Amino acid sequence: MSEIIAQISPQRSTQYSSIAGTLAPLELYLGLAEKHLSSIETITLGHQEYLKFIIDDLEIDERFFYELGNMSMTSSYYLYFESIGSVTGPFLKPLEITCDHHLPYDFVMTRRYKGKTNEMFTHFLCNVARYSSCFSDYKWQDLRIFDPLSGGGTTLFTALYLGAESVGVEKNANDVQSTVTFLKQYTKEQKIPCTFKEERLKKSVRKYWFTIGADKKKCLIINGDTTEFSGLITGIKKPHFIVTDLPYGIQHGGHITQLITNAFPVWLSTILPGGTIVISWDSSRFTRKEMINLIKGISPVNILDGDIYKKMSHRVDRVIKERDVIVVRKEE
């Protein structure tokens, strides 16, 4: 058996450090579920928080390193020794984690805009979608993510960074145009291979196609209504996951009810059987129980509501006093 510690990813503010501390152990449990981790606990070394866990040496294999390399809430990893021989520690031996990302993380971080969801939290949501699906043994390069409320594109960029293909729908034409402009400029400045094509359809719907990187990953951005797009996703295979963060401008439960009631059946029809829908929202205004009852009333889906999923709620700031995450799996 080996003891390993994982550094909780440093954040640029104390509020995000608190979020990382809440979500990091959940991500480890889900991402390494097949590795039978035991005794995950938080420890502090040099004023930095780490998660310490025990794993069987036989479980430290290529898959283990792949999953660690794709975590969002933890970053560097070490073998942990209380002592070596008669010398008291602790001592740390770094684990070499090789990531096969074809795009730099800067691709996700660079763009700043009002209302942007934190990049590490978006990465966390993508991971939760994969871990909770029937495609958890697939690598990102074989997967597709869809964000039906894509805003400024953080989920799309995160998916591309991880190696997946991505589709986004956004009603606000200005948000779509600024996202398209950013993708063009960034790939040009960073000398990343990129091809672009625009399609204009009836009802003022526009589709923007990108093929990005040496591995030619597709990214489709649709300027349209999230409740009317089901026939617009053509030219790319069905997504495995939906990952979206509900707009925080929605101040009243009635607005959330209307959005989910109209959109959820369309969203569900879009993904493959065995795939997942992961939604985050301001649960201080619309509770988890209300969200579960709303979705169950729309469709008889499998809402994952075990202990790990119930622990995903967290405080964001003074405005968003509680944000929660719900995970729905489309059964095969």
Pick from 198, 114, 110: which is nearest to 160 by CA?
Answer: 110
Which residues of the chain does CATH 3.40.50.150 include? 106-329
Torsion of CA 152, 155, 161, 162, to 10 degrees: 180
- Identify the DSSP state of 257: H
* Alpha helices, DSSP H, located in 220-319: 253-270, 288-298, 307-310
Fold adopted by 106-329: Rossmann fold (3.40.50)
Environment class of residue 313 by beta-carbon count within 10 Å: exposed (0-12), middle (13-18) or buried (19+)?
A: middle
For 210-259, how does the pLDDT look when each residue is reduced to its tens digit (9 = 90+)?
999 888 999 999 998 888 766 677 778 899 999 999 987 655 556 889 99
Q: At 327, is the secondary structure helix, strand, or coil?
A: strand
Which pLDDT belongs to residue 208?
94
For 8-63, how does the pLDDT look when each residue is reduced to its tens digit (9 = 90+)?
987 655 556 688 889 999 999 999 887 778 778 999 988 888 999 988 887 888 88
**Interior angle at CA 34, CA 62 and CA 330, nearest 5:** 110
Residue 241 C-alpha from the chain's centroid: 10
Which residues of the chain does CATH 3.30.70 include? 2-94
Q: At 148, is the secondary structure helix, strand, or coil?
A: coil
pLDDT beyond 60 at 95: yes
**Domain range 2-94, its CATH number among 3.30.980, 3.30.420, 3.30.70, 3.80.10:** 3.30.70
Q: What is the DSSP string of 168-225?
A: EEES-HHHHHHHHHHHHHHHHHTT--EEEEEEE-STT-EEEEEEETTTTEEEEEEES-
| Spatial CB neighbours of 182, under 8 Å, sequence gap ≥ 6 | 111, 153
Cα four-point dihedral sign 265, 270, 272, 278: negative
For 139-156, how does the pLDDT look when each residue is reduced to its tens digit (9 = 90+)?
999 999 999 999 889 999
| Spatial CB neighbours of 190, under 8 Å, sequence gap ≥ 6 | 104, 107
What is the Cα–Cα distance from 207 to 164, expressed in whole angstroms?
A: 19
- Decide: pTM greater than 0.85: yes
